[in-house]
C-alpha cells in the first residue's frame, strides 16, 4: 500500500513565508531588498471586477476600492504635482470638479504634506457609480484619455499601490531600500478593520503576467532603470531555475471565503 504523498517544498514553510533577494546598488551606498514572492506572483488590480473595498464591511457596490480614506502625499512636491493636475481636469472627467475648484483638493497637516480631501465619504478624485463617465479615479481617467501614464497625474501612493518602498538609514549612513507588497499593517490601526484587502485575496492573483512584468513602469520609477533591469534579470533566471514559492494568498491552506 503506497505511503502518503511527499509534501511540496512550499508546504514545509510557514503559511505566510515570502522569498526575498537583496543586492547592492551600483551607483550609491544602498542595499535593495525585493519581495520575490509578491513580484513573481500574478497579482492584478481588480477594481470594478471584484474589488471589495477597504471599509469595515465588503462593499463592491460603492466602487471605492482603496480610495475611501484619501491619499497621503509623500512630500510637498507630490502634493503640488497633484494640485496642478487637478486644475487641468474637465467636468466630464471629474465628478467633483466644482468642489475641487472651490475648496482645493488637499488637506494640510502640521507634521506632514497632508492628504487629498474627502468628499461624500471618499477621495475627492473618485468618481462614483452613476457618474456619466463611470466610477474610478478622475486623474487616472484623464491620463489615459491624454495618452499619459497615470503615474504622471496621480498621488505617488496611488500609482505605487500595492507596491511599497521603505527606506531605512543604517548606522554607517548607508540605506536599505525594501520593495514589497502593501499590507494591512502599513495602513496603521485602521488596516486591521478592513473587511477585505487585495494582497490577501486569491481572486486578485489571476493575471497572465507576474507583477515584475505587469508593473514594470512603476517598479522602474521606484528604483531606477539600472536597478529594475538587474531585478528583472534575476527574476527571469529564478523562474527558469525551478518552481517559485507560491504567494500565501494562493496556497490552499490560506484561501479565504
Annotate 189-249 with DSSP letters as a single string.
Answer: GGGGG-S--GGG-GGG---SS-HHHHTHHHHHHHH-HHHHHHHHHHHHHHHHHSPPPPPGG
- Over residues 134-143, the mean pLDDT reads 97
pLDDT of residue 254: 44
Task: Express each pLDDT in 239-254 by its tens digit.
Answer: 999 999 999 999 875 4
Distance CA 243, CA 257 (A): 26
Confidence of residue 112 (pLDDT cuts 50, 70, 90): confident
Report the percentage of the chain scoring pLDDT > 90. 86
> Which 3 state secondary structure label does DSSP give 99?
helix
Query: Is residue 165 within 8 Å of residue 178, measured between CB atoms?
Result: yes
214: nearest Cα among 40, 48, 50, 67: 40
| pLDDT above 80 for 176 | yes
- Over residues 132-151, the mean pLDDT reads 96
Higher local confidence (pLDDT), 234 or 5: 234
| pLDDT above 50 for 255 | no
| pLDDT above 90 for 109 | no
Q: What angle do CA 254, 12, 230 make, to 5 degrees?
A: 85
| pLDDT above 60 for 6 | no
C-alpha grid cell, residue 96: 467633483
Confidence of residue 158 (pLDDT cuts 50, 70, 90): very high
pLDDT of residue 257: 41
User: CA separation (Å) from 123 to 87, 116, 155, 177, 240?
Assistant: 16, 6, 12, 29, 42
Distance CA 195, CA 53 (A): 8
- Tell me the pTM: 0.91
Amino acid at each position: 500500500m503506497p505511503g502518503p504523498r511527499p509534501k511540496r517544498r512550499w508546504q514545509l514553510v510557514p503559511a505566510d513565508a515570502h522569498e526575498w533577494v537583496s543586492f547592492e546598488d551600483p551607483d550609491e551606498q544602498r542595499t535593495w531588498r525585493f519581495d520575490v514572492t509578491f513580484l513573481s506572483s500574478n497579482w492584478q488590480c481588480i477594481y470594478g471586477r471584484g474589488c471589495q473595498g477597504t471599509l469595515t464591511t465588503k462593499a463592491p457596490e460603492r466602487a471605492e476600492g482603496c480610495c475611501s480614506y484619501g491619499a497621503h502625499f509623500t512630500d510637498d512636491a507630490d502634493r503640488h504635482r497633484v494640485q496642478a493636475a487637478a486644475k487641468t481636469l474637465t467636468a466630464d472627467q471629474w465628478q467633483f470638479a466644482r468642489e475641487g475648484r472651490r475648496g482645493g483638493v488637499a488637506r494640510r497637516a502640521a507634521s506632514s504634506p497632508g492628504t487629498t480631501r474627502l468628499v461624500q465619504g471618499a477621495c475627492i478624485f473618485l468618481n462614483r457609480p452613476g457618474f456619466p463617465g463611470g466610477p474610478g479615479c478622475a486623474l487616472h481617467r484623464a491620463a489615459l484619455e491624454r495618452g499619459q501614464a497615470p503615474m504622471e497625474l496621480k498621488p505617488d501612493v496611488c500609482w505605487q499601490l500595492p507596491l511599497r518602498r521603505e527606506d531605512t538609514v543604517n548606522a554607517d549612513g548607508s540605506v536599505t531600500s525594501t520593495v514589497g507588497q502593501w499590507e494591512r499593517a502599513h495602513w496603521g490601526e485602521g488596516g486591521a478593520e478592513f473587511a477585505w484587502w487585495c494582497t490577501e485575496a486569491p481572486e486578485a492573483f489571476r493575471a497572465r503576467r507576474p507583477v515584475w512584468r505587469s508593473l514594470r513602469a512603476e517598479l522602474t520609477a521606484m528604483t531606477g532603470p539600472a536597478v529594475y533591469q538587474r531585478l528583472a534579470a534575476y527574476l527571469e533566471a529564478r523562474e527558469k531555475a525551478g518552481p517559485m514559492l507560491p504567494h500565501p494568498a494562493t496556497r490552499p491552506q490560506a484561501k479565504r471565503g
